[in-house]
Structure 1
């Protein structure tokens, strides 16, 4: 299954590829050149299809866990001063998505959307330290039953040119449901309470709506 955000691009690419294959077949006489053009066109279509894939992932919501909002690799685990909404220290876990990853963003927890804001910005590479504050991005805050308020931030990368965010303030959302999409390379930052337990490590590969990023710290800790 493919994400709805890719529908127009997939259809357009399909017709362009068909046209390229037919033009090459009838107008390019040199066999190896004709074959190379046709293979390149088909490769482009396959690349677009795999980028917009949207695998279904059924989730039994767990209020004690924060799940990965996206597929990718953990590139940052640190405490930061969050200036936009919390205005206090938070644990930040950042997940980098390469163009080959599934780019669907999913709600990391169930709760109520209390804040959702889009910020235009630059297109620094997604792993740049200033990408969290300087790049095009959206900030979403969820009020959850066990963690209180948590945040996540969709950040455009050097290749990304459009962030799609479905979260609306006041909306009740469910862990694992589709919350948006980032086109062509990006990163997502999770902004979590200091008293939660981070359950992933740097450079670990995570799967959206599958991998536990953080859990509630036991009361006796």
Structure 2
């Protein structure tokens, strides 16, 4: 597994570093006793490392059997697993699997299946806590519809949270999806829902931890 800084964070980290350097130089020049700028610099260093950690972008390789497999799109915790009616795109009953990310998780989003992207749609909305069930239909969100290689369709929804205010979606209609590729990125705490066919075999339960691009969350039934 290789880790690098995500392109979404490059400019933010550079600007933040320059700001912190200027502030800390001023503190060392004008503030006394010396213990104050020492403590201040230490706090700034910890804060900067925290932001760097948030924008880490691991490249992952799935080692299992890829046929009919659905992997988690994100690192996080399974917070919902229920049968719902999806009203915006699929317009039918499906099984919704939701994974919540804290600010400590990797925030890159992976494609959950190998297949073809059919639709990408952005929905404006509110910025409620992504942990709330109604966040799926009320919050700012981006929807990606994918047809898996076996012909089954599933929907992935990136959901902004109370802190997350920017959803980035790389998926484009007509392109191939690959479970080792990034589908998008959400900045600063959020949630991703996967809407699965009712006959999908679920491999996780509420409270389970997932690793994006690695953890098998479901198996799709073979389409007859």
TM-score with structure 1 setting the length: 0.95
Matched ranges for 1:1-221 at <5 A? 1-59=4-62, 62-146=66-150, 148-217=152-221
CA distance in 1, matches of 2:93, 2:131: 21
**TM-aligned CA deviation for residue 20 of structure 1:** 2.1
CA distance in 2, matches of 1:123, 1:38: 33
Q: Unpaired segments of 5 or more residues in structure 1?
A: none
CA distance in 2, matches of 1:218, 1:138: 28
Q: Unpaired segments of 5 or more residues in structure 2?
A: none
**TM-aligned CA deviation for residue 80 of structure 1:** 0.3
Task: Count how many residue pairs are aligned between Structure 1 and Structure 2.
Answer: 219
| RMSD value, Cα | 1.5
Query: CA distance change for structure 1 residues 217 and 172 in 2, over 3 Å: closer, same or farther?
Result: closer
**TM-aligned CA deviation for residue 45 of structure 1:** 1.0
User: Alpha-carbon deviations, 1:98-140, whole Å to 9, x = none?
Assistant: 0000000010111111110001111000011210011000010
Question: Would the aligned equivalents of 1:63 and 1:144 in 2 still touch at CA under 8 Å?
Answer: no
CA distance in 2, matches of 1:32, 1:74: 44
1:33 partner SS: helix
